[in-house]
Amino acid sequence: MKDRSQFTSEIEDKLFPPKITLQIKGKLYFLDEPWVMGILNITPDSFFSESRFSKESGKVLSQAEKMIGEGAKILDLGGYSSRPGASEVSIEEELARVIPAVKVIKTEFPDILVSIDTFRHEVARLAYYEGADIINDISSGELDKSMIPTVGKLKIPYISMHMKGNPETMQAKTEYNNLEKDILSFFNEKLNQCKNAGINDVVIDPGFGFSKTIGQNYRILKNLSYFKTIKAPVLVGVSRKSMIYKSLDIQPQEALNGTTALHMVALINGADILRVHDVKEAIETIKLYKQIYR
């Protein structure tokens, strides 16, 4: 039986939820409402062809400007496709793709937050020195043991995603004792590692499509609020993924409507950041969500 103090605490949490913040290079950002992260793939082989951009600065800048104008808070730059079956990319090629893009975007749009989608600490480090603000690591340091210590030295936010194995083997690793508990245990361990390394701000990403079946992806989305128990911002990346287009028997190019539907579910269940290909539609979804719930 709950005592009076417990009831009071629960009521206060609902009326005055704790503020979610990220400290980035000496500036404190408040996630008073959900943010949108726009995907900029500097790759030739990402699963959604319209999200691919060459190293040509004009095309990258044009897409960056479009996403910023539509309301993106973060641009997520990646030079290594993590889709199943993607070609391996050397560190030299990944740097050649990512570093010029970071430079040109931060020169033209110095106030936009830039995230680097990489599992390699050297890419993270060099991108930081060119202006990157956040590191987005699909492996949470498992594919490069120097990643978490490096980010700790850089003192910038770290996005920790759940995945088992690597992009080549992950879809064969979908066995769990208890899906939600296993993933939560993974994040608790990673949060401790990050804290010990000096990382103060960690965002967690359940890793939709990584080491999960389609059914498991939907189960995680349905129970997303479970992951709010560890008091870290939650990022959701379902945009145009196979959990949508395979379920609807369509192609990624046709999956915007399904993406929008799942974005609303994610927001209702506690998502703090949406990682998306289509910024305008995600912003509109957030606006309608706020009309209902805020």
d(CA 217, CA 237): 11
Q: Among residues 73, 120, 164, 241, which one is catalytic?
A: 241
Instruction: Mark whether 103 is an active-site residue.
Output: no
Phi, psi of 164 (to 5 degrees): -110, 135
Q: Among residues 106, 120, 212, 275, which one is catalytic?
A: 275
Three-state DSSP class for 9?
helix
d(CA 135, CA 159): 6
272: left (phi over 0), alpha (psi -120 to 50) or beta: alpha
User: Cα-Cα-Cα-Cα dihedral of 51, 234, 226, 239, to 10°?
Assistant: -10
CB 36 within 8 A of CB 277: no
As given in the structure block, the two tokens for residue 18 are 């704790």
CB 204 within 8 A of CB 227: yes
- CB neighbour list of residue 60: distance below 8 Å, 6 or more residues apart: 40, 42, 53, 54, 101, 104, 105
Instruction: Mark whether 212 is an active-site residue.
Output: no
d(CA 248, CA 239): 14
d(CA 83, CA 192): 28
Residues noted as catalytic? 241, 275
